[in-house]
Chain A
Amino acid sequence: MIDSTYFNELSDGAKKSLTGEEVLLSTFKGESTDFMRFNNGDVRQAGTVTQGTMDLQLIAGRRHGSSSVTLSGDAETDRHRVRQMLSVLREQRSRLPEDPYLLFNTEGSSSFFVGDDTTPAPEDALGHIQTAAGNRDLVGIYTAGSTATGFASSLGQQNWFQTSTFNFDWTFYLRADKAAKNGYAGLTWDDDVFADKVNWSLRQLEALKRPAIDLDPGAYRSYLTPSAMQEFLDLISWGGFGLESHRTKQTSLLHMVDGDATLDASVTISEDTANGVAANFQEQGFMRPDEVVLIDAGAYKDTLVSPRSAMEFDAETNGASSSESPLSLAVAPGDAETATAMERLGAGLFVGNLWYTNFSDRPACRVTGMTRFATFWVQDGEIVAPVNVLRFDDTIYNLLGANLEALDDTAEIVLDAGSYENRSNSSFRVPGALVNNMRFTL
């Protein structure tokens, strides 16, 4: 994979070709990823993806243009590509108007982090996985390798963040849609940790053997696992916390921002960069603070502010990327003992996972979605039967507001297994939640 030396040399070479007042911002995103996709315990597709993209933003005064180019890793080829990109950007810039919202860091500090690569050899991981699968119906994806994010400014700032991780996201299937989902991600493979996770899934699989029941639409007391909470909060993160979405009334949290709606006082939500796995710098060279508190004790507090929004809405940037979406969202734990979740649920739904959430009324933050995988009916704190899939349709003001009974006292870290375009560096830190009268409609 392309390393920091290669990226910085390429950026420095481009810097030498700048003229007059030109400033060049370069960012890099790359990975070397081994992947194994499983179906029924066998490898369905396996391979290696090596890729790196360099984004160039060429600025002169308030005029600028951006171009993204895939790097080959061959120095001569890439120098040629970058020279070409700069020519394109110069030509294009001359035809573009001044940009009043342009903002980039002119006083940034450099940083460098490369974590050790202690991920297992793919053949070893394959052995662990297929041993655990045995003759069970295991389906999922294993990815591993290095990912890197870089930034270089012709003004001298250089940042590099590189980690090597693995992420195994899998499901044991019993029959049809009755299945137990789990995930194991980290830096170093630990057989004991993996065995614990497999055993947890096997216990769920055992419970899934009982005859499934259909529940009528209605309101049910429900326990949402951290995985279910993550799916719900992932949707809220889609335009919910950014300054632009707030000022243009498009945030799903509008009733909190412009009205007097609140969540339960036990709910505090942050962009927790210090405890995430994403780089703490963004594409215009601004650094992210360790923490931005978005919702504090149930009330809306701060937004994620990109440099562009900072200029447009006269605010201070806090290092958000242009999408103003959180990368390391954390919900503070509550005070309910996690180990007693089933007991506290008593009679109701244990929701293992939610799926395909979307807004049924965005301004009201009303969300619909499905239960998926291991969802059970619980009576007297004990699993009675798996429940066939249900559609919920409820607002955040009910689920994390008036109807929230408790948040667990431990928060689980969920590393995003997503890989659209490249492996995700997002993470969530969320506790489970006990909710009264969660509304199910189909």
Chain B
Amino acid sequence: MQSILETAAQAAGTTATLEDRLRQALPTDVDEASIRLWDEQSESLSVRQGQLEPVTNQFDAGVMVTVWHNGGLGYAATADLTDAGLRNAVDRARHWAEVTVDTGVRVEAPTAQSGNYASPVAVEWDEMPLNDRLDLLHRQSALLSVDPRIVASHAGLSRRNVDSLLLTSSGARVEQQFRFVYPSLSATAAEGTQVQTRTFGRNSYCGQGGVELLGHYGFGDAASLVAEQALDLLSAPNCPTGTMDVLLAPDQMILQIHESIGHPLELDRMLGDERNYAGTSFVTSDMFGSYQYGSELLNVTFDPTVSGQLASYGFDDEGTPAQRQHLIENGVLKRGLGGATSQRRSGVDGVANSRACSWNRPPIDRMANLNIEPGDQSFADLVASVERGVYLETNNSWSIDDSRNKFQFSCEYGRLIEDGELTTVIRNPSYRGVSANFWRNLKGVGNADTWKVMGTPNCGKGELNQMIGTGHASPTCLFGDISVFGAQS
């Protein structure tokens, strides 16, 4: 299939390449300007209760023009890639830069560098024909619908290709090619008004690569267990209420990291940009370098270099090269999640994480890959160390205050831990706490065997609103003295 940009080039009837025309459109009489091109193709397949849902394909392309001049900053996004369309967008961005000279937050242009990045792909998506992809989903769907009590099931497979090109008036050029894969499974079991849903990591098995990721994630073998556990939960006892140890699997840890480490460390929250919508942070700029965020077992990295993780990249959307950095080391807060612009505004060290979800939104501070480094305890060691507690898998509900402190999370599946052993399956497990205390109760970190590389495909933030994928990797982790409870029903 021809990309939308090749189509545009043909229709424009010019021999100049699109890149040439974009470069020519960049204004030279301003302090700095950039054009960020985004070309996306996606396919989404879904089988629900044995029936193929409408197949959807998406072709999307456009550019964001940014102009910095005399302290002003302006944006203009357009899908009109003709010379006239690009000129109009440049004029509009220049206009906004003029308007904001005296009315805006003074922002200097970041210094972009040049380079390339491409997702690691072993087996190209198209090497698995559409019929094979559909057959795979139908097989999973059949495995999910093994019992009449399974009242809803879903097997899904999506892929997304994004090619981006950032050009600046200073001469920087960043070209990146992303190939994303998103498999999903779910089964809902019901008896009367008792309803339980179990999923394949609630969409957290996703990353960059090709068909090989399906095998890597174990997608073809997961459906039976998903259905079996949904049925088990129907007759399981409710989660007990009390203060106890909580052992969190990686597919719950990623949510815990995301909500109570990732968002609080975003510099644009601390700068106040997000206070009308996503919120602020209990973390303040004076805490960096000294604040004990968690126990000494807590080591958190911003790591866009993990091969195949959902938010790996070579450069952020301001053109800053991406590097692995420790955000929290031995429990102590080291640096924040903020790109070059936020670092300059706040005076706090950050990372290369100024990102936009598409061509039609300006970049803001986002998590990328935010990972907890593995410790040295095996899963068996962690379980054995618990006298009374619960082991929880897979988030199904999340809520946290606007300062990212008071949270309440629920999981799909739990088991009691009694005298060092995993015992009864429990349903509707939830726990609540306060971020500022919770991580200090980290008392066990699983080793590399328990470490899983996952992601959250839909993180919402920003005004204009933006939905973007973030990567998280984590070992299984043990926390002490946590408030645990179950459902009323």
B244 in the interface, Cβ–Cβ < 8 Å?
no
Main secondary structure of the interface of B (DSSP, over half): mixed
Kindly state the separation between the CA atoms of A170 and B360 in the bound complex, as whole angstroms.
22
Kindly state the separation between the CA atoms of A418 and B401 in the bound complex, as whole angstroms.
19
Surface stretch bound by B, among A10-18, A38-46, A428-436: A38-46
Please determine whether B79 and A71 come into contact, CB atoms closer than 8 angstroms.
yes
Please determine whether A99 and B59 come into contact, CB atoms closer than 8 angstroms.
no
Given contacts A39-B271, A47-B92, A420-B467, contact A72 B401 (CB under 8 A): no
Please determine whether B463 and A355 come into contact, CB atoms closer than 8 angstroms.
no
- Chain A's closest residue to B76 (CB) is A48
Kindly state the separation between the CA atoms of A38 and B10 in the bound complex, as whole angstroms.
41
A68 in the interface, Cβ–Cβ < 8 Å?
yes
Closest approach, in angstroms, between the C-beta of B72 and any C-beta of chain A? 9
Kindly state the separation between the CA atoms of A92 and B126 in the bound complex, as whole angstroms.
13
B82 in the interface, Cβ–Cβ < 8 Å?
yes
B197 in the interface, Cβ–Cβ < 8 Å?
yes
Q: Considering the complex, which residues of chain A in the window 46-70 have a beta carbon less than 8 Å from any beta carbon of chain B?
A: 46-53, 57, 64-70
Please determine whether A88 and B57 come into contact, CB atoms closer than 8 angstroms.
yes
Of the candidates A79, A95, A370, the one whose C-beta lies within 8 Å of that of B402 is A370
Task: Please name all residues of chain B whose beta carbon is closer than 8 Å to the beta carbon of A164 when the two chains form the complex.
Answer: none
Surface stretch bound by A, among B1-9, B109-117, B285-293: B1-9
Please determine whether B488 and A249 come into contact, CB atoms closer than 8 angstroms.
no
- Chain A's closest residue to B104 (CB) is A43
Please determine whether B100 and A101 come into contact, CB atoms closer than 8 angstroms.
no
Kindly state the separation between the CA atoms of A108 and B377 in the bound complex, as whole angstroms.
65
Please determine whether A141 and B79 come into contact, CB atoms closer than 8 angstroms.
no
Please determine whether A48 and B96 come into contact, CB atoms closer than 8 angstroms.
yes
Q: Considering the complex, which residues of chain B in the window 180-215 have a beta carbon less than 8 Å from any beta carbon of chain A?
A: 188, 190, 192-195, 197
Kindly state the separation between the CA atoms of A277 and B155 in the bound complex, as whole angstroms.
35
- Chain A's closest residue to B489 (CB) is A364
Please determine whether B59 and A418 come into contact, CB atoms closer than 8 angstroms.
no
Please determine whether A389 and B401 come into contact, CB atoms closer than 8 angstroms.
yes
Please determine whether B273 and A73 come into contact, CB atoms closer than 8 angstroms.
no
Q: Considering the complex, which residues of chain B in the window 346-368 have a beta carbon less than 8 Å from any beta carbon of chain A?
A: 360-362
Of the candidates B51, B134, B403, the one whose C-beta lies within 8 Å of that of A177 is B403
Please determine whether B152 and A51 come into contact, CB atoms closer than 8 angstroms.
no
A211 in the interface, Cβ–Cβ < 8 Å?
no
Please determine whether A356 and B401 come into contact, CB atoms closer than 8 angstroms.
yes
Q: Considering the complex, which residues of chain B in the window 368-413 have a beta carbon less than 8 Å from any beta carbon of chain A?
A: 397-403, 406, 408, 410
Please determine whether B79 and A51 come into contact, CB atoms closer than 8 angstroms.
yes
Task: Please name all residues of chain A whose beta carbon is closer than 8 Å to the beta carbon of B17 when the two chains form the complex.
Answer: none
Of the candidates B11, B360, B430, the one whose C-beta lies within 8 Å of that of A49 is B360
Kindly state the separation between the CA atoms of A241 and B459 in the bound complex, as whole angstroms.
25
Please determine whether A419 and B464 come into contact, CB atoms closer than 8 angstroms.
yes
Task: Please name all residues of chain B whose beta carbon is closer than 8 Å to the beta carbon of A364 when the two chains form the complex.
Answer: 487-489
B272 in the interface, Cβ–Cβ < 8 Å?
yes
Kindly state the separation between the CA atoms of A248 and B196 in the bound complex, as whole angstroms.
12
- Chain A's closest residue to B467 (CB) is A420
Closest approach, in angstroms, between the C-beta of B106 and any C-beta of chain A? 9
Please determine whether A52 and B397 come into contact, CB atoms closer than 8 angstroms.
no
Please determine whether A46 and B73 come into contact, CB atoms closer than 8 angstroms.
yes
Please determine whether B401 and A70 come into contact, CB atoms closer than 8 angstroms.
no
B218 in the interface, Cβ–Cβ < 8 Å?
no
Of the candidates B7, B197, B397, B410, the one whose C-beta lies within 8 Å of that of A80 is B7
Produce 1/0 per residue, B211-227, CB < 8 A to A: 00000000000000000
Q: Considering the complex, which residues of chain A in the window 73-117 have a beta carbon less than 8 Å from any beta carbon of chain B?
A: 73-74, 76-77, 79-81, 84-85, 88-89, 92, 95-97, 99-101
Please determine whether B465 and A419 come into contact, CB atoms closer than 8 angstroms.
yes
Task: Please name all residues of chain A whose beta carbon is closer than 8 Å to the beta carbon of B360 when the two chains form the complex.
Answer: 49, 51
Closest approach, in angstroms, between the C-beta of B383 and any C-beta of chain A? 26
Closest approach, in angstroms, between the C-beta of B109 and any C-beta of chain A? 14
B460 in the interface, Cβ–Cβ < 8 Å?
yes
Given contacts A49-B360, A70-B60, A169-B276, contact A249 B82 (CB under 8 A): no
Kindly state the separation between the CA atoms of A50 and B89 in the bound complex, as whole angstroms.
9
Please determine whether A250 and B73 come into contact, CB atoms closer than 8 angstroms.
no
B15 in the interface, Cβ–Cβ < 8 Å?
no
Residues on B lying within 8 angstroms of A by beta carbon are 1-2, 4, 7-8, 10-13, 49, 51-52, 54-62, 73-82, 85, 92-93, 96, 99-100, 103-105, 130-131, 134, 151-152, 188, 190, 192-195, 197, 271-273, 275-277, 279-280, 360-362, 397-403, 406, 408, 410, 428, 430, 432, 434, 460, 463-467, 487-489
19 contacts between A and B (CB under 8 A): A43-B100, A43-B104, A51-B79, A66-B55, A74-B11, A76-B11, A77-B82, A80-B11, A88-B57, A99-B54, A126-B103, A130-B103, A176-B280, A249-B151, A254-B195, A258-B192, A356-B400, A362-B397, A370-B399
Residues on A lying within 8 angstroms of B by beta carbon are 33, 35, 37-40, 42-53, 57, 64-74, 76-77, 79-81, 84-85, 88-89, 92, 95-97, 99-101, 122-123, 126, 130, 137, 139-141, 143, 169-171, 173, 176-177, 179, 181, 248-250, 254-255, 258-259, 355-364, 366, 368-370, 372, 389, 391, 393, 395, 418-421, 441-442
Q: Given A42-B103, A355-B279, A420-B465, 10 more contacts at CB 8 Å?
A: A43-B104, A47-B76, A48-B75, A137-B272, A171-B276, A177-B402, A258-B192, A356-B402, A360-B408, A420-B460
Pairs of residues from A and B, 10 with the lowest C-beta to C-beta distance, nearest first:
A47-B75, A141-B463, A248-B152, A43-B104, A361-B487, A77-B11, A249-B190, A140-B276, A67-B57, A420-B465
